[in-house]
């Protein structure tokens, strides 16, 4: 279990895109201890590191140094986002997009921000909430880089560091709550991608996912959508209004 989060201090002329003064301010703001070397990782200690404006988090995985960072403007999600449309994205059906209507969505389990990004590309306004501090920081950095290249998304993607269960009661101007809690990794863990294993070391297992759904269903919204891996049990064993199935996952849709 990782309990200590540090950040690598950089010399003034380092090419990371940030200087030592900036990193010290970032460390103060986010309660991170400064370290001078990346080599003192331990099972309970992870180290943040800026490289060319990207924020990485170094951790030990199976005794070896590994790192995680989030990208929305590169890789598979960026490719998918290029051709996003209401007809080719199941998530559009799940959240209730219509020809001339785009819901305002609360993504209550923001994670790497991929689903939020796709919903924003569909034209939705998305409020993202993430409770896990290191995941929040990695996502915040991915959004900063995304907005540099796609500034038009700034007005539709908003990130908050919070436990979403606490916000459901006071929700205003939100049509849909979207939930995608962590699901326990199955036995064949060697097959699970390294990125997912690192992510899971930070987020844990979201053992309160049932309660997330029951609280969401009391909110003043038109629908609650839950993304689940194929074959996963229903949250809280609650039957949805309908399901939308794909090869690897399904959406359970609860209409108000």
Options 163, 214, 218, 220; binder of ligand SAM; rule CB under 6 A:
163
Alpha carbon distance 9, 48 (integer Å): 9
- Contact status: 206 vs ligand SAM (CB under 6 A): yes
Contact 68, 138 (CB under 8 A): yes
How large is the angle between the packed helices 133-149 and 194-203, nearest 10 degrees? 120
Which of these ranges, 30-38, 53-61, 127-135, 233-241, lies near ligand SAM under the rule CB under 6 A? 127-135
Can residue 215 be called a binding residue for ligand SAM (CB under 6 A)?
Answer: no
Which CB sits closer to ligand SAM, 56 or 199? 199
Does residue 122 interact with ligand SAM by CB under 6 A? no
Residues 135-154 that bind ligand SAM (CB under 6 A): 135
Q: What is the DSSP string of 86-118?
A: TTT-HHHHHHT-BTTB--EEEESS-TTSHHHHH
* # of chain residues touching ligand SAM (CB under 6 A): 21
Enter the DSSP assignment of 239. Answer: P
Kindly tell me which residue out of 67, 129, 141, 156 binds ligand SAM, with binding defined by CB under 6 A.
129
Residues paired with residue 157 on neighbouring β-strands, in sequence order: 126
Tokens 């915040």 belong to 140
User: Among the candidate windows 94-102, 110-118, 169-177, 236-244, which touches ligand SAM by CB under 6 A?
Assistant: 110-118
CB neighbours of 28 closer than 8 A, spacing ≥ 6? none
Interaction site with ligand SAM (CB under 6 A): 108-109, 111-115, 129-132, 135, 163-165, 180-182, 203, 206, 212
């Amino acid at each position: 279990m990782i309990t200590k989060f540090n950040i690598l201090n950089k010399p003034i002329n380092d090419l990371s895109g940030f200087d030592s003064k900036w990193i010290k301010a970032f460390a103060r703001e986010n309660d991170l201890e400064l370290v001078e070397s990346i080599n003192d990782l331990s099972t309970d200690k992870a180290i943040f590191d800026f490289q060319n404006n990207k924020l990485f988090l170094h951790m030990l995985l199976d005794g070896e140094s590994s790192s995680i960072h989030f990208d929305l403007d590169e890789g598979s999600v960026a490719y998918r986002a290029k051709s996003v449309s209401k007809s080719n994205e199941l998530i559009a059906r799940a959240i209730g997009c219509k020809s001339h209507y785009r819901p305002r969505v609360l993504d209550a389990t923001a994670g790497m921000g991929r689903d939020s990004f796709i919903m924003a590309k569909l034209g939705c306004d998305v409020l993202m909430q993430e409770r896990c501090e290191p995941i929040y920081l990695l996502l915040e950095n991915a959004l900063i880089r995304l907005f540099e290249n796609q500034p038009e998304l700034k007005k539709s993607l908003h990130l908050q560091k919070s436990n979403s269960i606490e916000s459901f009661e006071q929700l205003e101007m939100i049509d849909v709550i979207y939930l995608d809690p962590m699901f326990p990794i199955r036995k064949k863990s060697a097959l699970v991608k390294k990125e997912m294993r690192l992510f899971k070391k930070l987020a844990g297992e979201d053992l309160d996912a049932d309660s997330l759904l029951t609280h969401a269903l009391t909110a003043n919204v038109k629908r609650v959508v839950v993304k689940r891996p194929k074959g996963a049990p229903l949250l809280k064993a609650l039957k949805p209004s309908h399901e939308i199935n794909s090869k690897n996952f399904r959406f359970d849709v609860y209409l108000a």
